[in-house]
Amino acid sequence: MNVQKKNRNIGAALLFFIFGLLFFVLAVRFFTIQYTGEVKGQALAAKAAQMYLRTDVIKAKRGTIYDREGEVIAEDSASYTLVAVLDGALTADPEHPNHVVDPRKTAAELSEHISLSEQEIYDLLTKDGRKQVEFGPAGRDLSHRTKEEIEKLELPGIGFIKDTKRFYPNGVFASHLIGYAQREQSDGKPSEIVGKAGLEKSYNEMLIGKDGSLQYKGDFWNYILPNSKKQVKEPKDGKDIYLTIDKKIQTFLEDAMNKVDQDYSPSRIFAIVADPKTGAILGMGQRPTYHPVTREGIEKTWHNEVVESSFEPGSTMKIFSLAAAVEEGVFNPNTKFPSGKYYLDKKQPPIKDHNQGAGWGDITYLEGVQRSSNVGFAYLLEKMGTDTWRNYMDKFKFGQKTGISLPNEASGKILYDWPIEKVTSVFGQGTTVTSMQMIQAASAIANDGKMMKPYVVKKITDPASGEVTETKPEVSGQPLSPKSAKKVRDILETVITSDIGTGNQFYQLDGYSVAGKTGTAQIAAPGGGYLQGRENYIFSFLGMAPKDDPKLLMYVVVEKPKLELDENGAMPVSEIFKPVMKSSLQYLNIEPEEQKDAVITEIPDLTEMSVQKATQYLTDRGLKPILLGSGKQIVSYSPTQGEKLIEGEKVIIRTDGNLSVPNMKGWSKRDVLKVAKLAELKINMVGSGYVMKQNIKPKSRVSAGDQLVVNFAPQTEIIEKNKAKKTKSDEEPPLD
């Protein structure tokens, strides 16, 4: 018994010692921590504060993109994501539930407001194990109006997460220039809107801004603790960008391109409207295009064709070879050259004019420009020299990037090694350019010799500091004198006003004079050579108006349009150029030019005059006398005595000599009937429009009663090409 008692005492003493030692260690540890305020080198006060410290991100606003007048093109806007709480444990008060109580009713009512069926919503709301669900794309990016409509339903467990999205109020609107931005999340960072294409991408660092923060002490439920202080770091919003694009002009351009795209189904369209005095781009677009919100259509082309694509320009390049010849003093409008074919040497096929090399005989260089004669420009190259022309291509900055602030700009390529390449470059074959290069070069013609660098950003503003960075117009060269530039404009105007000009029937504007040049360029084939067929061309027009002091410069390109047999490539191009140019001039309050009063001449009795005197009388008054016969006395004429004619009309005169028929190519039916009546010929007219061909050769003798057969068509030169079948001529440009 004593032994047991003794053992218990020893055990008690041992336990007392152990507990006493533990108490001592804890006491020492307690007083050490209390004294130092640290554990393992870390301050406990900081740790305690950290437990209660809450940090919220204050999102910066992405910069807004405006047009030149301050109209919004791209901006941030509020959006909402629909969520449903399914966990019943989150409801503390059954009278006011915080979770979805009736999935069937909830599904039925939500299906009226989002693009999911009632059954699809019900399936989401009844999935096992889910505490909260979203509704996929149908429940994201909801507008504030949709949010309010759903809230009015007072559906338990239905709520919203507020977010921000990029909003493009104009829809398809210079989409490849503006680009698009979308929300992204990476590396565990908070999601943010990031530019993915166009200006949204190239100016992303300026637009994106810098997020701020809010720090405070909060409890377990994130409520702010009493007497706690908040620390706020204000966000730095992104910078705002003002473009040179004018919303009205861009809208004119979008509408016109839509119509041509629908009517002609071309493979590509791109067009630019610019201010030649400054280089500011006022409108710019292409087809195919895409919607910046839905990205619908982006799979067809995501490139900005205006700056990223190079191509052979065709005869619009003749504007600049003409300018070089004028500046060098080698262009004499009245000097003649043999049109049709030009032989560089006997070993190579000749360079042909676009009417299958038939030409128009010996014609003046002015007529060569109006008819867009490749041969005429080959002879001009001889006059100025190949080294001189190469120097002018550098002056006009072909083969060089313009430096416009857009990504992936192409430079084009000048092929100038072989003699044939040097000749073809004067009429736009072999050498490649971009649309933006053409606009820059043409600004020298429109701006009295000063070439302006193109730009699309007018200014950048910092909303925090108010700092404004403006883009100032920049002269990129002066390849011409003011005198030469004006002379070139005068010559190019005749391409539009002359009866034989390639732009005569397509590019005239009521109230405004236009100077410009048409182009029909071949398309390089993937395996070498060029594509064949009447539609496989790039049709274009580079024009400016008003001619004497151009306020607008415009370049339109339409590739491979679907054409009817009586149509040519100038038609879709003109259906963009004409309405956009005229509407834009009127919008800018450019007063129409004064129209000259038409010269009206009353026809006298021509039988009282000699043929020579009558011809001179009519010519002096701007009329065109046409002689039938080789005699010296006038027998009859049409229109008859007393009729009134305006400048440019024809007067058919029959003399007493041997009768002959004139070349009536391009004439109207009315004038052909005058010839048939005066010559007493039997007439058979086929088709409609203008004379394509006649069965009696010009200047050959005829007698009364002979049969005259005349074929008509809407366009004289293209119909021969359209009707040719599987011949080399079918592959020549239909109109240039």
CB 64, CB 75: distance < 8 Å: yes
Residue 4's Cα: distance from chain center in Å?
106
Kindly write down the DSSP assignment for every residue of 313-371, as one continuous string.
-GGGGHHHHHHHHHHTT---TT-EEE-SEE-S-TTSPPEE-TTTT---SEEEHHHHHHH
The dihedrals phi and psi of 207, each to the nearest 5 degrees, come to: -75, -30
Dist CA 99 CA 84 (whole Å): 7
**CA-to-CA distance for 256 and 279, rounded, in angstroms?**
23
Give the single-character DSSP code of 223. P
Q: Give the chain's largest Cα–Cα span.
A: 172
Rg (CA), the chain: 40
Decide: residue 197, CB within 10 A, 0-12 exposed, 13-18 middle, 19+ buried: buried
Q: Give the DSSP letter of residue 276.
A: T
- Tokens read off for 570: 């100038």
**Known catalytic residue: 315?**
yes
Catalytic site residue from 175, 309, 315, 476:
315
Distance CA 280, CA 383 (A): 36
Q: Per-residue DSSP letters for 30-75?
A: HHHHHHH-EETTEEHHHHHHHHHEEEEEEPPPPPPEE-TTS-EEEE
Determine the Cα–Cα distance for residues 84 and 156; give it in Å rounded to an integer. Answer: 9
End-to-end C-alpha distance for the chain, whole angstroms: 131
At position 672, the amino acid (one-letter code) is V
Q: Any bridge partners for residue 268, and if so which?
A: 559
Instruction: Give me the residue label for tokens 């005058």.
Output: 674
- Tell me which residues are annotated as active site: 315
